[in-house]
Amino acid sequence: MQDAPRNLFVKDVALPLDHCPVLAPNAFFKTALEAMGRSRLGIVCVVDADGILRGIVTDGDIRRQLLKMQKPFSAFFGDDVIEHAIPHPTTVGPDVALLDAVNLMEEKQVWDLPVVDDGGKLVGLLHLHPIVKLLVSQQDG
């Protein structure tokens, strides 16, 4: 990774907003599971009516919830997604150097970082897989 090009930024690789699974805080939790399945990403971003990121739900969060939650599935599925979202997740700005973002992923042991602007508005999603693909293609090239 130390050989990664210094001129690459988060915005060069991040998935655009219309490719991110995004839900309103009061969406049913079941909808989050469906959105994650459709996008084939292990994350959904919860944004309010102004587009501000209010939390995220990841595969790992759901696994942990399933082991702890004792309520019936029907109640779990009907909860507002925000109730099970991680508030204040680690995020990254679009103009951050890609290398720094990858180091942040390594430090936090995550492979998705919501990309937010200075106002906290979600603008994209940095997913590890496209980064790896890009770097591999550059090495091959």
Partner 1 sequence: MDMKTITVGYGDVTKVQIGPGLPLAFLGGPCAIESRDHAFKMAEAIAEITQRVGVPWIYKSCYDKDCRSSPDSFHGLGMDEGLTILSDVRKEFGVPVVSDFSDPSWGPATGEVCDLVQIPAYLCRQTSILRAAALTGRPVHIKKGQFMSPWNMKNSVRKLESFGCHDIMLADRGTFLGYNMLVNDMTSFPIMARTGYPVCFDATHSIQMPTSMGDISGGQREFIPYLVRAAVACGINALFMETHDDPDNALSDANTVLDIKYLENVLRQAKIMHQARLDILAELGEDKVHPNG
Angle, nearest 10°, between helix axes 128-140 and 98-108? Answer: 130
CB of 65 to partner 1, least distance (A): 8
Q: Does 68 bind partner 1 (CB under 8 A)?
A: yes
8 A C-beta contact, residue 9 and residue 100? no
The least distance separating partner 1 from the CB of residue 103, rounded to whole angstroms, comes to: 31
At 115 the three-state DSSP class reads: strand
Q: Which position has the token pair 């996008």?
A: 39
> Does 78 contact partner 1 by CB under 8 A?
yes
Which position among 6, 38, 40, 71 is part of the footprint of partner 1 (CB under 8 A)? Answer: 71
Query: Which residue type sits at 60?
Result: G
Q: How far is the CB of 80 from partner 1 (least distance, A)?
A: 8
Which residues would be at the binding site for partner 1 (CB under 8 A)?
A: 65, 68-72, 74-75, 78-79
